[in-house]
Structure 1
């Protein structure tokens, strides 16, 4: 089964990465972390944000961006950035693509973006706002990619546990 991939370039805030990890577990998505990280993976904050799901996370760390590229040759990588020319809903996400997000304080370096201009995507927002929270941005773009792939392997319908008899 193909899986989507979320890539965090040098994430700085453990709670964001923990939240993203939980979202990845809930969606069957792989998480890739490019060092240096602004925290240790065993910190309490990351575990608290990821709750008891962190142990189930498919996560890989890389020493740097070059190692990430070497270990994922031919990967189709979309770059989520406020500098992107394409709205995130205007591209077609393959079921095994990679979606990269930059660190909270600076985003993805422009030298990386310059080599990937056609795959840079942005979330529309008011011009006075610098950016959305990293974990929110990941959720927005990831769920669009999942939607485009028909939410493959995901539970699509919920049900009430105590009141099913009252619903017609």
Structure 2
């Protein structure tokens, strides 16, 4: 069974084309839209992006936003809640109730998000890890978060 979701995944200035391609492929398979907040740290036509996304890039629902300000204005106009995944949060993502119109936001692989983006989020979540672990791969983190949101949507729809 494939669930059509209204969830969106947003990547803030992603650095690594392979991660972005993998995320686009996963999102296409789950029926999720992806927003890229530019500038990205690579050319969006990059070979690694195409290799990781394979032919799924053709069916991915991708929207590019020229800046954080453009993205934030758009999402506020749409009435969407912004849920930031951050190592600076204390609330575990599995303890959070996702809403159908949420945007799951992930920062740059190299630096996360700046303070003004962190403060603009409606909710901030963390993926719990061992104390001595620094971070997960971005594509893995996005898959974990999207999986939980989709699981909750299925439960809430009585599936």
* TM-score, normalised via structure 2 length: 0.90
Distance 1:105 1:43 in 2: 18
In the alignment, the residues of structure 2 paired with residue 39 and residue 137 of structure 1 have an alpha-carbon distance, to the nearest angstrom, of 20
2:70 corresponds to 1:83: no
Does residue 133 of the first structure (1) align with residue 133 of the second (2)?
Answer: no
How many Å apart are 1:151 and its aligned residue?
Answer: 7.4
On the 8 A contact 1:146/1:152 being kept in 2, the answer is: no
Q: Does 1:26 align with 2:24?
A: no
**1:27-66 equivalent positions in 2, closer than 5 A:** 27-66=30-69
The 2-side partners of 1:7 and 1:123 are apart by: 17
Q: Which runs of 5+ in 2 are unaligned?
A: none
Report if aligned partners of 2:5, 2:150 keep a CA contact under 8 Å in 1: no
1:165 aligned partner: none
Cα RMSD between the aligned structures? 1.9
Tell me what 2:117 maps to: 112
Residue pair 1:30, 1:59 contacting (<8 A) in 2 also: yes
In structure 1, stretches of 5+ residues that fail to align are 157-168
Offset of residue 33 of structure 1: 0.2
Q: Which runs of 4+ in 1 moved over 6 A?
A: none
Assess if the C-alpha contact under 8 Å between 1:35 and 1:64 holds in 2: yes
Shift of 1:69: 1.3
Shift of 1:61: 0.6
Matched residue count: 153
| Superposition deviation, residue 2 in structure 1 | 4.8
Separation of aligned partners in 1, 2:54 and 2:156: 24
State the 1:113 CA deviation: 1.5
